[in-house]
Amino acid sequence: MSSLGLVGSCLLGLSLIWLYPCPSGVVWSDNFDDGDYDGWSVTSGMFLAETNTLKAVSEGSIERYQSISEGSNVVVHPSTVTTGTWSFDVYVTGDGGGEILFMMVPGRTYMIDITSDNIYLWRRGIDEEGRRVGGVMLHFPYIVRDPFSGWQHIDITREGNGRIRVYHGGKWATGAYDTLLTTSQSFVYIAPSSGMALDNIVVSNTIDVFLSPVGRIDRSQWRFWAAIMIAAITVAAIRIDWINRTNSLDAQNKDDNID
């Protein structure tokens, strides 16, 4: 393909990028802007949504997360997503940010545990009384130099091959491969003390966050970065075509001088 042909192909690709809609696979979401948490079930403690966040208001138990049915603030939302993206904001206090069980079935869960300076990724068992029993830390914990404070953004992705990735504030934090859980019934938030909160939850059945040389990329940004790449290829193709034409003219001028 000539350089100009490549330019034409790039321009065609650019136009298709802007015409093609950005894929969306949102299954459920909640930002609590309506001031309530309809669709959620509180199994322990107390929550309020009057401040447009899902906020724990009971002291609960600081004995960390022994039960999902008692001793802490626990709230549950139905969720059957097993591959896709779980995105949310969590408010971290001096006691941490709580636990998010993003995939759970009776007896087993994938979850992250957010302390004031770590994020742990677990696969854990759950007994009939709702207590966490046993389990496997799927990867080394994500450790920060400065303790977490205030709102933190978390993205979790899980691919069909079992690859789990956890992002904090747009940066990869931890991850692992695990295929033991193949179904899910619930998304669970556990807050062991008042003041912890959850907000801006979006759960989709598509991978909406990707690793790239520039860091985390949202699915909503894919057209922008694709356009940048195609524009760079187009500029390079035009430059190469200009150099080839210049060299061809120089060679023709030399031949004319010889004649």
Residue pLDDT tens, the chain, 259 long? 555 555 555 555 555 444 444 556 999 999 999 999 999 999 889 999 999 999 999 876 545 445 555 568 999 999 999 999 999 999 999 889 999 999 999 999 999 999 989 999 999 998 766 676 778 888 888 988 788 889 999 999 999 999 999 999 988 999 999 999 999 999 999 998 899 999 999 999 999 987 654 444 444 444 444 455 566 666 666 667 667 667 666 556 655 555 5
DSSP 67: B
Residue 219: what pLDDT? Answer: 47
Quote the pTM value.
Answer: 0.74
Residue whose tokens read 């430059």:
239
Residue whose tokens read 């789990």:
164
Residue 16: what pLDDT? Answer: 46
Distance in angstroms (rounded) separating the CA atoms of residues 152 and 145: 15
The DSSP secondary structure of 116-137, one letter per residue, reads: SSEEEEEEEEE-TTSBEEEEEE
Output the CA angle 59-184-23, nearest 5 degrees.
105
**Crossing angle between the packed helical segments 3-19 and 222-258, to the nearest 10 degrees:** 160
- Judged by DSSP in three states, 60 sits in coil
Residue 204: what pLDDT? Answer: 96
Residue 87: what pLDDT? Answer: 97
DSSP 221: G
Residue 127: what pLDDT? Answer: 74
Please measure the distance between the N-terminal and C-terminal CA atoms of the chain and give it in whole angstroms. Answer: 33
